[in-house]
Amino acid sequence: MKLTGAQAFIKCLEEHGVEVIFGYPGGAIIDIYDELMKCDTVKHVLTRHEQAAVHAADAYGRVKGEVGVALVTSGPGATNAVTGIASAYLDSIPMVVFTGQVPTMLIGNDAFQEVDIVGITRPVTKHNYLVKDAKDLVPTIREAFHLARTGRPGPVLIDLPKDVLATLIKYPEPKPVKMRTYKPTYEPHPGQIEKACLELLKAKRPVIYAGGGVINSNAFEDLTELAKKLNIPVTMTLMGLGGFPGTDSLSLGMLGMHGTYFANMAVANCDYLLAVGSRFDDRVTGRVDAFAPKAKIVHIDIDPASISKNVRVDIPIVADCKHALIAMNTWFDRNKDFDANARVEINRPWHEQIKDWKNKHPLGYVEETDIIKPQFVVQKLHELTGGNAIITTEVGQNQMWAAQFYHFNHPRHFMTSGGLGVMGYGFPAAIGAQMAAPDKVVIDIAGDGSIQMNIQELATARQEKLPVKVAILNNGYLGMVRQWQELFYDKKYSQTVMEVVPDFVKVAEAYGAVGLRATKPSEVEPVIMEALRTDNTVFMDFVVAREEGVYPMVPAGKATTEMLLV
Amino acid sequence: MRHTISVLLQNKPGVLSRVTGLFSGRGFNIESLSVAQTLDPEVSCLTLVTSGDDMIIEQITKQLHKLIDAIKVTDMSEHDYVEREMALIRVKAEAHTRAEVLRVIDIFRGKVIDVGPKSYVVEVTGKDSKIQAVIDILRPIGIQEIVRCGTIAMTRAKKS
Ligand SMILES: Cc1ncc(C[n+]2csc(CCOP(=O)(O)OP(=O)(O)O)c2C)c(N)n1
Ligand SMILES: [Mg+2]
């Protein structure tokens, strides 16, 4: 039996176990929407902007540990999706994005709603395809899913000309994807593992620096095992939060520009740095020559190009983080001379030193009684959700306070746009996360500026009856930019004052959602409790201290030890 | 340092722009580039010349390798290899300079491939330094036009 391209498309999604996709229709992609209407295996969530569809697919994939899928039309649909794709690319998120395209015979003619989306997205996708021949459709989709989820994950885009979707084809038998040019390395080299372990035994001041790769490779348990076995403190990048229990005594919290004092001090003074699935981003390293200057650096990463890109490493290990960590754990388990108690003794002065740093400059803020501190809101959210909520964030101060004060104990519970840092990510991401985990509490920690970048998604949340909660830390500013202006631009608040901010309570209500507001510290808890009790989408408008800053802060380009403190 | 890098690529539309996009996007420079099909019509060979310190060259080769369509990346500079470039030069050839042009071309083992009333088109191949030398010598006689192609390179047969 022959199928149209559109029918084969649906069948191929089913073949890949896809249950939910996010998208927005249009002329070039209408054939697929026609098929979707008859399909009861694949649920389509209609967002109100294509950027939101891609962010939602991003978070859906992250929560589930699967490939997120987004579907948009040609031209403007495709260009609207680009920001979402770029964010997923920089965060190594597995995703397949399908874009409609004008019929093959019109390609290149500047046809109505034609853009060269393959050309546009080349630098922000792991790979992309234009399907010109219907018989290539299914093999291309299979390849795209394979690429998206294996190796260093990332978004893959497939451009689908309208005529390809209408052409009749025979559905090819499912078979494993084999690619001549693509064979990611999963297993670590045993010699490198041994070197890394021997070096670790010599270390007196070791630190683990864990990134998003730990989450992507599901290495939470293995990382925890290694850290505990050898008594090694762990610091995480923004993308790595939840990769190791944040409330554990070995946790140093986040490092880098807004990292904790003790995490940055520990890295600056360590003699052994085990980087796992992290990429020495400039927001993490600060001035590179001052980053872990005294350390032997071991770097585990599945992407060889990440290794020694910004900082020279001593022992590179190209492998999947989970496989490499298992290999290290096994090495220590089999090594008869390894004595965990002796490690504790050897590392004692180091842990004492770290404790001193923690006592000297703990993560904190100046509390006030009559005005809500944004950090206080995040702390309360943590407390009242038992630290078990899935948190998404927008970008800016809200994002950093969420990272600092919601101590993540589980992987796949924190969704943020780390690499691209795109305002407008959090709310659609919360929608995607809630679709993936209907029974979880999902909260977007937002800023008053960012939430307005995708505020239209209230309609999506309502349409899907999602009890997503949005906690707006409303400071009336583009706060993070204002903070830079305060510190480095003589307090000239150029275009960062939100002179008009909508009444978020009324906006929520206009969509049939619930709006709540807190203006005093005493109202914070009741508002959160009420939101958590409500089975509807809720906007919580927290009117917070307007000029609160995020600290510690390492000014851009400075060494990470040169922190501005509270 | 100057490096000649050879990349075997799937011969598909858009592959070249993946390579050049990678260079422009990451701020690497391309000094010369040449691409053509290999014996296998599904594979093309791209040779490019670039320069940078060791860390940059390492990144370039890793990033090239990461391209899904790249089959093999070889930094020729790590091997014993030969490389060639070709130039077509239109040079003034009037009664009093013709003999001089022919003599220069002969010394550099070039060829005259087109003869006009007042000019020749000559073809020279060789390493980049040789091409430069021919150009320097012909310039005073009067070069009207030059077209050069990118470097191509091949490893030498293994001794023994
Ligand atoms: C799409 C986009 N545009 C601009 C920026 C630059 N930017 C970074 S943080 C920020 C301010 C965000 O303001 P708000 O959402 O109110 O958060 P706050 O910092 O006040 O918590 C801006 C404009 C960005 N990250 N993303
Ligand atoms: Mg704000």
Can you tell me the mean pLDDT for A204-229?
98
B123 confidence band (pLDDT: 50, 70, 90): very high
Distance separating alpha carbons of residues A409 and A395, to the nearest angstrom: 22
- Closest-CA residue to A213 (of A348, A327, A108, A306): A306
For chain B, list residues whose CB is within 8 angstroms of any CB belonging to chain A. Answer: 10, 14, 17-18, 21-22, 25, 55, 58-59, 62-63, 65-66, 68-71
Residue in this structure with the two tokens 């290899």, named with its chain if needed: B81
In chain B, which residue's Cα lies nearest the Cα of A307? B59
- φ/ψ of A353, rounded to 5, equals -60, -45
Probe residue for ligand 1, chosen from A378, A392, A395 as the CB with the greatest number of ligand atoms within 8 Å: A395
Percent over 90 (pLDDT), chain B: 94
* Cβ atoms of A538 and A531 closer than 8 Å: yes
Q: Say whether A480 is catalytic.
A: yes
Q: Say whether A43 is catalytic.
A: no
Q: Say whether A162 is catalytic.
A: yes
- CATH superfamily for A2-170 is Thiamin diphosphate (ThDP)-binding fold, Pyr/PP domains (3.40.50.970)
* Cβ atoms of A234 and A252 closer than 8 Å: yes
Largest pairwise CA distance in chain A: 73
The first and second tokens of residue A437, run together, are 């985990």
Ligand 1 centroid to Cα of residue A58, in Å, is 20
Can you tell me the mean pLDDT for A493-497?
98
Residue A463 has pLDDT above 80, yes or no: yes
Give B20→chain A minimum CA distance, Å.
11
What's the pLDDT at A505? 98
Atom of ligand 1 nearest to the CA of A453: 1
What's the pLDDT at A460? 98
Catalytic pick among A480, A540, A553, A563: A480
Q: Where are the alpha helices (DSSP H) in A102-208?
A: 117-121, 137-149, 162-166, 190-202
- Out of A126, A179, A304, the one facing B62 most closely (by C-beta) is A304
> Is the CB of residue A394 below 6 angstroms from any atom belonging to ligand 1?
yes
Distance separating alpha carbons of residues A68 and A95, to the nearest angstrom: 5
The ipTM, to two decimals, is 0.90
Neighboring chain B residues of A123 at a CB cutoff of 8 Å: 21-22, 25
Q: Say whether A112 is catalytic.
A: yes
Distance separating alpha carbons of residues A518 and A527, to the nearest angstrom: 7
> Is the CB of residue A450 below 6 angstroms from any atom belonging to ligand 1?
yes
User: Do the first three CATH levels of A2-170 and A190-360 match, i.e. the same topology?
Assistant: yes
Atom of ligand 1 nearest to the CA of A473: 21
Give B63→chain A minimum CA distance, Å.
6
- Closest-CA residue to A56 (of A80, A20, A28): A20
What's the pLDDT at A430? 98
What's the pLDDT at A321? 98
Catalytic pick among A14, A105, A112, A360: A112
Are the Cβ atoms of B63 and A127 closer than 8 angstroms? Answer: no
Buried b (16+ CB within 10 A) or exposed e, B13-51: eebeebbeebbeeeebebebbbbeeeeeeeebbbbbbbe
Element (H, E) at A89: helix A76-90
Ligand 1 centroid to Cα of residue A448, in Å, is 9
Backbone conformation region of residue A421, classed left if phi is above 0, alpha if psi is from -120 to 50, else beta: left
In chain B, which residue's Cα lies nearest the Cα of A309? B59
What's the pLDDT at A1? 83
Are the Cβ atoms of A181 and B62 closer than 8 angstroms? Answer: no
Are the Cβ atoms of A304 and B65 closer than 8 angstroms? Answer: yes
Distance separating alpha carbons of residues A36 and A30, to the nearest angstrom: 10
* pLDDT tens digits, B124-160: 999 999 999 999 999 999 999 999 999 999 999 987 6
* pLDDT tens digits, B14-65: 999 999 999 999 999 999 999 999 999 999 999 999 999 999 999 999 999 9
* Ligand nearest the Cα atom of residue A445: 1
Residue in this structure with the two tokens 């403007």, named with its chain if needed: A76
Ligand 2 centroid to Cα of residue A397, in Å, is 7
What's the pLDDT at A566? 86
Neighboring chain B residues of A119 at a CB cutoff of 8 Å: 14, 17
In A141-281, which ranges are E strands?
155-161, 168-170, 206-210, 234-236, 251-254, 272-276
- On average, the pLDDT of chain A sits at 97
* DSSP class of A564: B
What's the pLDDT at A337? 87
Query: What's the predicted TM-score (pTM) here?
Result: 0.96
Can you tell me the mean pLDDT for A75-99?
98
Percent over 70 (pLDDT), chain A: 100
Residue B106 has pLDDT above 80, yes or no: yes
Residue A435 has pLDDT above 90, yes or no: yes
Contact partners, residue A423, CB within 8 Å, separation at least 6: A394, A395, A396, A447, A449, A450, A453
> Is the CB of residue A251 below 6 angstroms from any atom belonging to ligand 1?
no
C-alpha distances in Å from residue A409, one per residue of A89, A176, A241, A386, A563: 25, 36, 8, 10, 26
Q: What is the full DSSP assignment across B134-151?
A: HHHHHHHHHEEEEEE---
Q: Is A183 on the interface with B (CB under 8 A)?
A: no
Q: What is the full DSSP assignment across A493-545?
A: -TT-B-S----HHHHHHHTT-EEEEE-SHHHHHHHHHHHHH-SS-EEEEEEB-
Protein fold of A374-543: Rossmann fold (3.40.50)
* pLDDT tens digits, A286-345: 999 999 999 999 999 999 999 999 999 999 999 999 999 999 999 999 999 899 999 999
**Domain ranges (residues) in chain A:** 2-170, 190-360, 374-543
A15 confidence band (pLDDT: 50, 70, 90): very high
Lowest mean pLDDT among A243-257, A391-405, B91-105: B91-105
Q: Which amino acid is at B85?
A: E
What's the pLDDT at B159? 77
* Cβ atoms of A555 and A487 closer than 8 Å: yes
Residue A180 has pLDDT above 90, yes or no: no
* Cβ atoms of A526 and A377 closer than 8 Å: no
Residue A160 has pLDDT above 80, yes or no: yes
Q: Choose which CATH entry (3.40.50.1220, 3.40.50.12780, 3.40.50.10540, 3.40.50.720) describes domain A190-360.
A: 3.40.50.1220
